[in-house]
Amino acid sequence: MIQVKLKDDVRTYEAGVTVYEVAQSIGAGLAKAACAGRVDGEAVDLRTKLDHDCTVEILTFDSTEGKHAYWHTTAHIMAQAVQHLFPDAKFAIGPAIENGFYYDFDLPRTLTPEDMDAIEKEMKAIIKADIPLERIEMPADEALKLMEEKHQDYKVELIQEHSGKGEKISFYEQGDYIDLCAGPHLMRTGQVKAVKLTNCTGAYWRADANNKMLQRVYGISFPKTSQLEDYLHMLEEAKKRDHRKLGRELELFTIMEEGPGFPFFLPKGMILKNLLLDYWREVHKKAGYQEISTPVILSRKLWERSGHWDHYKENMYTTVIDGEDYAIKPMNCPGGMLVYKTKMRSYKDLPLRMGEIGLVHRHELSGALHGLMRVRCFNQDDAHIFMTPEQMKDEIKGVVKLIDSVYKTFGFPYHIELSTMPEDHMGDEATWENATNVLREAITELGYDYDVNEGDGAFYGPKLDFHLQDCLGRTWQCGTIQLDFQLPERFELEYIGADGQKHRPVMIHRVVFGSVERFIGILTEHFAGAFPLWLSPVQVQVLPIAERHHAYAEQLRDMLESAGLRVEVDERSEKIGYKIREAQLQKTPYMLVIGDKEMADQNVSVRHRKAGDLGAMSVNDFIDRLHEEVAQKARD
């Protein structure tokens, strides 16, 4: 007999019981919803047998690993459908991804929209057949022979990488289809209830342009049809909100072929960007930060000392100056170290909070570039806090509160992840454990829930990542707090303690926006380009009905600009209805319609982009209204 620790219980089972049978013993509803299991922290198949005392969690579609098993199984269903329709198909890889799954195929011809429909139809037939999936393990030589017989060249290549390691190779079989795979997977194809293929693109095998171009088919699946419908609606809404589209229409930014991954900000975009930076500076000044600026290009010796040359070089742009190697900075931290070292510090100077909006460059593959969301240069709103060990927890709490206040200003809910020590790390495990515990204690004492992301810390320390959620329910990792004992050691940072002796400070790396450019992209999609008044590049459009109203319109513009508002006058010879529609399309918060009555009464007729006609009001009342809205950083 074995003891199985569950979420709220400990139960006794006979050795050899499967995770699925444990789920059945808890309840039929849970067993039906189960996608996979977690045994002693590791995601496994429901068909996994338990032979020792362990901790077991049943994973449904609501969990990350449950979704992974669900979508990975659907990728296999798609591959089986492709095999039925294209018997000569060769299969590469077909993983679950953040939203759904894909599979890379080597096919005799390019897929058409009609082929996509046929594949989806065949997938539904396979789902209806409710075929069981079985896990099979065999030695590498047998696995190699099996895939060679099936002429699956890509699978052969993958197996050959494992041959000679003494490992058994796992496959999953469903009916007439068998695939090289580690799992975990669902028990049967019939557990997939709603499926949709969403896109087909080209993809090089192993992302290497020297290899063959394959066809990558993307899809999504859900346990309920209503969930699929909601997701497809979200995709349509996301298309309307695409920041690349809105960036062009609202004249915010552009990406040019002369600089792929290097965004150009246009005048209105610069207004938005500077308003965000002004807000950042205001918040950080109140929180006791001092602003610094460090060079964009620094010596290789600095990057070797920081560890970036060994751990991050493939993402860095390098150059040679006076016969010496230099690198364009991918991060601001090493420059911050040098600023700290410009003079001897005392414990009375600590905590020392230094902020920098620094331009950084990171090499990204061209296929990964995406508008402002993934670029090759961006402004990072970095800050580095140097402190005594006793100050760590309070400083972490202070940063968490600051990030919380900023995200609330924009209306973003968020969740926190604690990322722990990666395999490729600097420093000893005891130091890492201490740093991780300090982060954990700080957020626990503040009353925050968090998830643990094992092994995803930075190479120099554990971190807290803040994943904000936009109005479509999508999450974006923006803020981060990284606790670092390593770089102060590498750079030999010191302070004079109360005992008159030299001590090593502890350091926090942290960002709030993350990438200012990416944050602008997120804001653009979140607000669908209809930015809150305080952020809108143009806050008021003055719309004179006829030419005789132009003089009063220009007088109004001068008054509003004197009051600190951003104003445009539309003096085109167009009908007023057309001007209003154009202002609406430009997402302008307020429109002032100016005709004979307004000119005679020396007032304004006010329209709001969302609330519509607000009626007539005096110019001073209108200005007071907008000043209050800006001061409160109100959202529509």
Catalytic sites, residue numbers: 333, 362, 380, 382, 384, 463, 509
Which among 516, 543, 440 is positioned nearest to 483, based on CA atoms? 440
358: β partners:
380
Amino acid identity, position 457 = G
Structural tokens at position 403: 């990030």
φ, ψ at 415 (rounded to 5°)? -130, 160
Which among 65, 41, 43 is positioned nearest to 54, based on CA atoms? 41
Element (H, E) at 4: strand 2-5
Number of other CB atoms surrounding residue 225 within 10 Å: 11
Count Cβ atoms within 10 A of the Cβ of residue 264 and give its class: 0-12 exposed, 13-18 middle, 19 or more buried: exposed
Element (H, E) at 299: strand 297-299
Q: Quick check: 45 and 185 in contact, CB under 8 A?
A: yes
Element (H, E) at 116: helix 113-129
DSSP label at 24?
H
Structural tokens at position 504: 């090593």
Amino acid identity, position 380 = Q
CA-based max dimension of the chain:
93
Q: Which residues contact 212 (CB under 8 A, 6 or more apart)?
A: 106, 204, 205
Specify the length of the chain in residues: 636
Q: b/e for 379-394, b at 16 or more Cβ within 10 A?
A: bbbbbbbbbbeebbee
Q: Quick check: 192 and 66 in contact, CB under 8 A?
A: no
φ, ψ at 323 (rounded to 5°)? 80, 5
- Number of DSSP helices (H) and strands (E) in the chain, helices first: 20, 36
Integer CA distances (angstroms), 347 to 344, 391, 431, 435, 483, in order: 10, 11, 22, 20, 19
The alpha carbons of the chain give a radius of gyration, in whole angstroms, of: 29
> In 3-state terms, what secondary structure has residue 436?
helix
Which among 288, 479, 503, 269 is positioned nearest to 385, based on CA atoms? 288
Q: Which residues contact 152 (CB under 8 A, 6 or more apart)?
A: 90, 91
Structural tokens at position 460: 């120099």
φ, ψ at 60 (rounded to 5°)? -100, 180
DSSP 393-414: HHHHHHHHHHHHHHHHHHT--E
DSSP label at 366?
G
Q: Quick check: 634 and 532 in contact, CB under 8 A?
A: yes
